[in-house]
Amino acid sequence: AQSVTQPDIHITVSEGASLELRCNYSYGATPYLFWYVQSPGQGLQLLLKYFSGDTLVQGIKGFEAEFKRSQSSFNLRKPSVHWSDAAEYFCAVAPEYGNKLVFGAGTILRVKS
Amino acid sequence: NAGVTQTPKFQVLKTGQSMTLQCAQDMNHNSMYWYRQDPGMGLRLIYYSASEGTTDKGEVPNGYNVSRLNKREFSLRLESAAPSQTSVYFCASKLAGVAKNIQYFGAGTRLSVL
């Protein structure tokens, strides 16, 4: 069965500092991987996705993520965090033409000014 | 560009009451989903509808029913609400048979059952 682990429940970083949110997955075939962001009181917005090809993918709002097959990881990064990045971030995995996404438990990002 | 619209945004129920959460999408998507979000548990799939006329159980279907009214609308019903159903409910939709399983989410319904 597919599963996604986000080891960090909460992360606090200073504004302007770099950020890395961890995501590990368990999936039998080549996964399709996603990062979603949820601002307080809002729905989920797709940040970026990995389907195939270049293992470093760029997303919106200056985020990027790197797929590492050997480590079963898809970590999200941003070189310089802004206060508006404070939100909850979800990693998810899915098959190509399947119907279901499996989500991790989420990481809450707090940004210190 | 409305996308996925959920109503209501907030609801308080008493134990045993019933209610229906509404979801509509205007993107001509084939598949629609209902999730619940609980702290520390991410989003868990309740039911989904791969296409108009079909529905299937997800990970946590007990206590819920769904109706795919037409291609646009997918409702979630709580027949007899319980405190354990206090949660935030999200509806999502996507195109079927097309790469690559990108789901689009509504803003959520925050439900409290007292």
SS3 track for B22-86: EEEECCCCCEEEEEEECCCCCEEEEEEECCCCCCEECCCCCCEEEEECCCCEEEEEECCCCHHHC
Q: What is the pLDDT of residue A91?
A: 96
Q: A44-66 burial string, b = 16+ CB within 10 Å, else e?
A: bebbbbbbeeeeebebeeebbbb
pLDDT for A58-74, tens place per residue? 999 999 999 999 999 99
Q: How far is it, in rounded angstroms, from Cα A90 to Cα A106? A: 5
**Phi, psi angles (nearest 5°) of residue A85:** -80, -10
Q: Report CB contact under 8 Å: B101, A103.
A: no
Q: Report CB contact under 8 Å: B48, A90.
A: no
Q: What is the pLDDT of residue B13?
A: 96
Which residue of A8, A99, A107 is the best one to mutate when testing the B interface, meaning the one whose CB has the most B CBs within 10 A? A99
Q: How far is it, in rounded angstroms, from Cα B81 to Cα B5? A: 23
Radius of gyration over alpha carbons of chain A, in Å?
A: 13
Which of residues B6 and B95 earns the better pLDDT score?
A: B6
Q: What is the pLDDT of residue A101?
A: 87
Checking if the pLDDT of B99 tops 70, the result is: no
Checking if the pLDDT of B50 tops 60, the result is: yes
End-to-end Cα, chain A, rounded Å: 41
Residue B105's contacts (CB-CB under 8 Å, 6 or more residues apart) are A36, A43, A44, A45, B4, B90, B91, B92
Q: How far is it, in rounded angstroms, from Cα A76 to Cα B19? A: 38
Query: Average model confidence (pLDDT) for chain B?
Result: 92
Query: Average model confidence (pLDDT) for chain A?
Result: 91
Give B100 to chain A, closest Cα distance, Å: 5
Q: What is the pLDDT of residue A31?
A: 83
The conformational region for residue B63 under phi > 0 = left, psi -120 to 50 = alpha, else beta, is left
DSSP-based three-state secondary structure for A70: helix
**Closest residue of A to B58, CA-based?**
A100
Residue found under tokens 């946590």: B60
Give B31 to chain A, closest Cα distance, Å: 8
Q: Report CB contact under 8 Å: A96, B99.
A: yes
Q: Report CB contact under 8 Å: B96, A43.
A: no
Identity of residue B11: Q
pLDDT for A7-37, tens place per residue? 999 999 999 999 999 999 988 777 889 999 9
Checking if the pLDDT of B1 tops 70, the result is: no
What is the average pLDDT across B25-52?
92
Q: Report CB contact under 8 Å: A42, B31.
A: no
Q: Report CB contact under 8 Å: B50, A106.
A: no
**Closest residue of B to A88, CA-based?**
B42
Q: How far is it, in rounded angstroms, from Cα A64 to Cα B17? A: 45
Q: How far is it, in rounded angstroms, from Cα A43 to Cα A33? A: 19
Residue A103's contacts (CB-CB under 8 Å, 6 or more residues apart) are A4, A90, A91, A92, B42, B43, B44
Q: What is the pLDDT of residue B24?
A: 97
**Closest residue of A to B39, CA-based?**
A105
Residues of B in contact with A103 (CB under 8 A): 42-44
